[in-house]
A and B are shown apart, each in its own frame.
Chain A
Amino acid sequence: MLSIKNLHAKVEEKDILKGLNIEIKPGEIHAIMGPNGAGKSTLGNVLSGREGYEVTDGEVIFDGKNILDMDTEERAREGLFLAFQYPVEIPGVSNLEFLKASVDAVRAHRGQDPLDSVSFLKLAREKCKAVNLDQNFLKRGVNEGFSGGEKKRNEIMQMMLLEPKLCILDETDSGLDIDALQVVAEGVNSQRDPNRSFIVVTHYQRLLDYIVPDYVHVLAGGKIVKSGGKELALELEEKGYGWIENGAA
């Protein structure tokens, strides 16, 4: 599904990723944990092709294709989805027109006809319900005035509508109380599928109680310094990151 080899990337002339390797097979959930400044969010932005994030070495093969030459929207249409740590508020652009534009673009790429507005509205309402968002959120500006929890649920709703192959959840748990966390986790779990993979980027083990990973990786100093099963997360929670970083140094 996703193969990252020796990935180096810099932001504003500063090297952030320094030789990152990771292999993800269909259906797997990989958690990436690590201290502040390790490059966790950079990874999501680099994979999505955000401007200003420059790949200096290495390769990223997604579903058999080299995505590093693709624009952000092409990657999204290929099935890569980044759930933002801080979803952007866009007043004046309604959630519904935004969602329709996204779904139409992805469907067109897959050779599917666009959904008519009635069918789309029905679908969007279903997904709203699935993440426990009131239907009024469809009329409002994208994330405009949404609470932290509502924004994250809106991200999960988009994921459900776009049906991506690979989802990167960038610190989805930040700013969420325990109830919102459960709703979001349930949403994610409902999307688990033998053909869909997840990268869950998080600071804390807590989220992984709800979204149980197959693998846990520790990202520090721009590369994966330790990998293991889900029990590694518990160990990190207990001991902190210091012991790994010291060991790696």
Chain B
Amino acid sequence: MTQAVSDFHQQALSQWVGKSDKFQRLNADGSKAFEALPFPTRKTEAWKYTSLYALTQQDYNQAVATFDGAEVAANYQVDSLDVQQWVFVNGQFQANLSTQKNESGLHMVRFSDASAEQLALIEKHLGQVAENERNLFTALNNAQVQDGVFIYVEKNTQLTQPIHIVNVTTQQGQAASAFNRCLVVLDQLAQATVIEQFVSSDAEQDVLLNQVTEAVVGNGAQLQHYRLHKEHESSLHFGGVYVDLGRDSQFNSYQVLLGGKVKRLDVLVNHNEGGSHCEMKGVYLPKNDQHVDIHSYIEHKAAHCTTDEIYRGIMADQSKAVFNGRIHIHPDAQKTLAELSNKNLLLSDKAQINTKPELEIYADDVRCAHGATVAQLDETAKFYLQSRGISAQEADIMLSFGFINELLDSIPLEPLRVALRPLLAQQFSSDRALTQHILHDEAGA
């Protein structure tokens, strides 16, 4: 079925909006903003290199029909990781696949199960960071939101276990959309680790997942955040991570973006008060016909804040990637230290990267740097490896993996680092003989 571009909004509004009695104001604002945002074309700056043609070819504004994702468990289990694990299949919570351990100072509930007190907190923060105007899919998420995960960590609480939220998509009879939402609130001096993982069943699927996460990191609080994607090559993802940082707070984000037909991730970090620190590290490894688009926005609104942002991408086959990283230093943000680096490796003549690091500075006493590079594998390094007996094929894999190894090694959560290593190596070859040397035992050296 082919639908005209203008139909998308109409169908989305009638299908998703106005079904909830909660969050009516947010829903109404979202829906108004969504209606006003035009369907992106190549002339829309924020979507210049990412085509939404797929959305005009099939009607994605249909509800998912099935929610059985039990067979996918192997795709998201992380060995030796002791966690609170909540699993959503096509946007719907799966109690039978989830585990919850009580930890003092932690409130983890679905919006629909929230107590009056918790609901008051949700209403206070939900939609406050995820601005409608940023992205039409975020506006749509705001317009439809009824349920989601609420994580609240009380003042001075340091969680001992990471929180693991898994989003699974599975095969449907037709194109369909699923939504999910996550709100993380860390009170003063609280510390938490939140892992968001996005996986699929192994079957062909035309599922679009629209997922938005908001985090409010209180004064002196620290949030370690992971966003790990490895969806089926036929699935679509439109996601957003929106973060408000309080005074002297810290946000460390690690993103691994694999798989998916079209994936778009918007990340916004607001340095609202002085002394906060943001460290953001991401890798994207599209291959085949995959398309990945990252838009990051760092808003320095207060003095003495720091940002260290590093993204690396390796594009294989006919894949395409878009990286747009913007750091905006507002007039009051004196003594800001901000760095943005984006390095890319093209493994094939047909692979593409469009990268645009942007720095906008309105304060005069800051230290900022930004840069992007695009390269191919280093022939001299390859010759060096081959001159020691290593095959050309293995040399390519070692050099490609080496390009992202540094970022992988910087992941603080060890079980995750150990689990990610083979997952990333597999991107370059499924032949164990060719990846065995990059998969050395961590303790080995």
Number of A-B contacts (CB under 8 A): 100
Docked complex Cα distance between A139 and B440 (Å): 11
Query: Nearest CB to that of A88 among chain B residues?
Result: B384
Report B-chain residues with C-beta under 8 Å of the C-beta of A48: 383, 387
Selected interface stretch from A100-108, A192-200, A219-227: A100-108
Do A88 and B398 have beta carbons less than 8 Å apart? no
**Interface presence of B405 (CB below 8 A):** yes
Query: Nearest CB to that of B440 among chain A residues?
Result: A97
Docked complex Cα distance between A102 and B437 (Å): 10
Docked complex Cα distance between A81 and B389 (Å): 9
**Interface presence of A91 (CB below 8 A):** yes
Known: A73-B392, A92-B403, A117-B444. A101 touches B398 (CB 8 A): yes
Do A109 and B404 have beta carbons less than 8 Å apart? no
Docked complex Cα distance between A90 and B391 (Å): 16
Report B-chain residues with C-beta under 8 Å of the C-beta of A142: 384
Docked complex Cα distance between A138 and B437 (Å): 14
**Interface presence of B45 (CB below 8 A):** no
Query: Nearest CB to that of A125 among chain B residues?
Result: B445
Do B389 and A105 have beta carbons less than 8 Å apart? yes
Query: Considering only CB atoms and an 8 Å cut-off, how many residues of chain A contact the other chain?
Result: 36
Query: Nearest CB to that of B388 among chain A residues?
Result: A102
Query: Nearest CB to that of A107 among chain B residues?
Result: B389
**Interface presence of B380 (CB below 8 A):** yes
Do A106 and B445 have beta carbons less than 8 Å apart? no
Do A141 and B440 have beta carbons less than 8 Å apart? no
Do B387 and A104 have beta carbons less than 8 Å apart? no
Do A138 and B402 have beta carbons less than 8 Å apart? no
**Interface presence of B324 (CB below 8 A):** no
Interface residue from B379, B389, B405 paired with A92 (Cβ < 8 Å): B405
Report A-chain residues with C-beta under 8 Å of the C-beta of B391: 73, 105
CB distance from A90 to the nearest CB of B (A): 5
Do B404 and A92 have beta carbons less than 8 Å apart? yes
Known: A51-B379, A88-B380. A93 touches B389 (CB 8 A): no
Known: A51-B379, A96-B444. A102 touches B389 (CB 8 A): yes
Do B383 and A92 have beta carbons less than 8 Å apart? no
Report B-chain residues with C-beta under 8 Å of the C-beta of A26: none
Known: A51-B379, A117-B440. A76 touches B445 (CB 8 A): no
Do B387 and A76 have beta carbons less than 8 Å apart? yes
Do A90 and B404 have beta carbons less than 8 Å apart? no
Report B-chain residues with C-beta under 8 Å of the C-beta of A94: 440, 445
**Interface presence of A231 (CB below 8 A):** no
Do A51 and B383 have beta carbons less than 8 Å apart? yes
Do A88 and B381 have beta carbons less than 8 Å apart? yes
6 other contacts beyond A92-B404, A93-B402, A162-B388, with CB at 8 A cut-off? A50-B383, A73-B391, A76-B388, A96-B444, A96-B445, A109-B389
In the A-B complex, the 6 residue pairs with the closest CB atoms: A92-B402, A102-B388, A105-B389, A93-B402, A92-B405, A76-B389
Measured CB to CB, the residues of A under 8 A from B are 48, 50-51, 71-73, 76-77, 81-82, 84, 87-88, 90-94, 96-98, 100-102, 104-106, 109, 117, 121, 138-139, 141-142, 158, 162
